Chain A
Amino acid sequence: MAIITVENLVKKFDNLTAVNNISFEVEEGTIFGFLGPNGAGKTTTINILCTLLSPTSGRTFIAGHDCMKEPAEVRKSIGIVFQDTTLDKDLTAYENLIFHAYLYNVPKNERQERVYDVLRFVDLFDRKNDLVKKFSGGMKRRLEVARGLIHRPSVLFLDEPTLGLDPQSRANLWEFIKELPEKHHVTIFMTTHYMEEAEVCDRIAIIDNGKIIAMGSPAELKMTVGGDIVYIRTTDNVKTQEEIKRLFGFDVSEKGEELYMTCLMGDTCIPEMIRTIGEGVLSVRLQRPTLNDVFLKLTGKAIREEEASEGDNVKEHVRAYRRRQ
């Protein structure tokens, strides 16, 4: 059953189209990833789903409720971890969570227990009486995930949950996120521009310039790249290049001292190639396609190249737009 439905969603800020006619569905109990570079329209889409923004056109439903017509119902069924922290740093971890429990009308006799439960889940129970300003980035993010679960939402939104965290905290956070659908009966809707992190998703939509350019499971998407990439270095690259082309029919290119080509089953291809070329082989390596390659293939650019430039421009534009309103 689809728990999130988005139909022909469009959002314009003046002459900038942040979201350009996207449609998709998210199945209950899955992890759905929304991938794309900064400024692609991910946060705008989340803000519309969270009822913080009105769309220019199109419709969105969460757990059967229309985000425009029944915002209160939608808000009850969602939890959100925003890109920038939304904790009150001058309150303790416990106070931040109990604030949330009151705000979401958690029954009086359950408030404390639920807060304790989620604190234990993210390993912060021992720190419950510490002020949040003393927490590290990773701890704050975990606390926010915990907070988002207190009112038992059907959907938990995670907007760039690992942004700004060190690799260890990132790995640690993913351990918690992976367990969420099963342990807390919640559907995860996450955005990220770290392609490798999207591997945990059951389904992924890749968005660029406000449009969804591909959708599927990580494995399906990687198949579209056309298989593995084999790199080979030999004593005579020119001769090898010709030989491989002639015998295997691969399109071989040269990059630095290496030759590389795409083949469907790289691991079985390599032994054959070595047998054919014989003595001249110096090194061989195999690269499995990553989601980054998928993005590269679809858009002709790597996802991080334009991170700073274009993405920030869009953010500036949206800020300026809001100030004028």
Chain B
Amino acid sequence: MEFNAIYVIVAREFKKFIRERSRLISTIARPLLWLFIVGTGMSRLVSPDTGVPYIQFIFPGILGMTILFSSIFSSISIIWDKEFGFMKEILVAPVSRFSIVIGKALSGTVVSTIQAVIILALFPFIGFKLGILQIIWVILISAALSFCLSAFGIVLATFYESYESFSVIMNFIIMPMFFLSGAMYPIKLLPDILNLISKINPLTYGIDAMKHVLFQFKTGTMSPDFLFIIDIAVIIGTSVLFVIVAGKLFERKK
């Protein structure tokens, strides 16, 4: 492990994140719109006797969304780095491809977890009463999910050479991942085919794990879909898988 290299890759991302206020504001604004506008609007449609107010039901989903966008954006910056040449500076350094991938994934983890914590801090406004242990669990799950999705983002980024591909990633990967993650509606209500796709989406398990921590009830329509231990196992397992795949993809020379 090349800790100096990993450290400096994360430090660079963090520094840029702090400097770019507009990026921070826009990534925080999106979940707020969904939570308060879509959440409030949809509450009128959803029957109140499902065990939990709708705005509370989507809270784990909104945390997941924050992490999804922020992690993928952070990793997609690799495409910018390729386009503007900075990637070459990293690639010719005596640093293993794995350290680069770990460094980039941790960069995404740091910035996404910070944003998730900011959104999490809104819990009193939507009627949650959380204990300190619940808060710590949500932060831990957020960090694990951030790492997983950042690593997934790196795999995506290795396939693209220029940022023109960004809207493709946005429309065909990020949005479907969000809609098929149990964020806005329980996946058990989805038709078989969509249910199946939701089950191969790592975001589903991250959101499900948060539902376990945030909701007291374990049965009913709005309840979690999988066992907590399975959620955690899937997040960790896919993280390892994505890191290995990303490392291999980075390795190949043309």
Mark A residues whose CB is within 8 Å of B. Answer: 50-54, 72-73, 75-76, 78, 80, 82, 84-91, 95, 98-100, 102-105, 147, 319, 321-323, 325
Contacts and interface: CB of A to CB of B under 8 A. Distances in A.
A82 B15 contact: no
B93 interface: yes
A147 B93 CA distance: 12
A88 B254 contact: no
Please give me the 5 A-B residue pairs with the lowest Cβ-Cβ distance, nearest first: A102-B8, A75-B94, A86-B85, A103-B93, A86-B89
Given A53-B254, A76-B94, A102-B5, A85 B85 contact: yes
Contact of A75 (B8, B86, B93): B93
Nearest to B252: A325
A322 B161 contact: yes
Nearest to A323: B161
Interface string B6-40: 01100110011001100000000000000000000
Nearest to A48: B253
B92 A78 contact: yes
B161 A75 contact: no
Contacts, number: 77
B100 to A, nearest CB: 10
A86 B254 contact: no
B253 A50 contact: no
Nearest to B96: A72
A100 B95 CA distance: 11
A102 B90 contact: no
A103 B8 contact: yes
A52 B88 contact: yes
A91 B16 contact: yes
Nearest to A68: B253
B107 to A, nearest CB: 13
A44 to B, nearest CB: 11
Given A91-B15, A99-B8, A104-B93, A53 B253 contact: yes
Interface of B: 2, 4-5, 7-8, 11-12, 15-16, 19-20, 84-96, 161, 252-254
Given A52-B88, A85-B85, A104-B93, A90 B16 contact: yes
A105 B89 contact: no
Contacts of A86: 85-89
A65 to B, nearest CB: 11
Contacts of A100: 89, 93
A80 B93 CA distance: 10
Contacts of A90: 16, 19-20
A59 to B, nearest CB: 16
B88 A103 contact: no
Given A72-B94, A75-B93, A89-B84, A52 B4 contact: no
A101 to B, nearest CB: 8
Contacts of A52: 88, 91-92, 253
A325 B96 CA distance: 22
B85 A84 contact: yes
Nearest to A96: B89
A85 B81 CA distance: 11
A85 B226 CA distance: 49
20 contacts: A50-B92, A52-B92, A53-B254, A72-B94, A78-B92, A80-B92, A82-B85, A88-B12, A90-B20, A91-B16, A99-B12, A102-B4, A102-B7, A102-B8, A103-B4, A103-B90, A103-B95, A104-B93, A105-B2, A105-B4
A154 B86 CA distance: 22
A317 to B, nearest CB: 13
Contacts of A325: 252, 254
Contacts of B16: 88, 90-91
A168 B252 CA distance: 41
Contacts of B94: 72-73, 75-76, 104-105
Given A104-B94, A322-B254, A325-B254, 10 more contacts: A52-B253, A85-B85, A87-B86, A88-B16, A88-B86, A98-B8, A100-B93, A102-B4, A102-B7, A103-B8
Contacts of B15: 91, 95
B99 to A, nearest CB: 10
B253 A103 contact: no
Given A52-B92, A86-B89, A91 B254 contact: no
A146 to B, nearest CB: 13
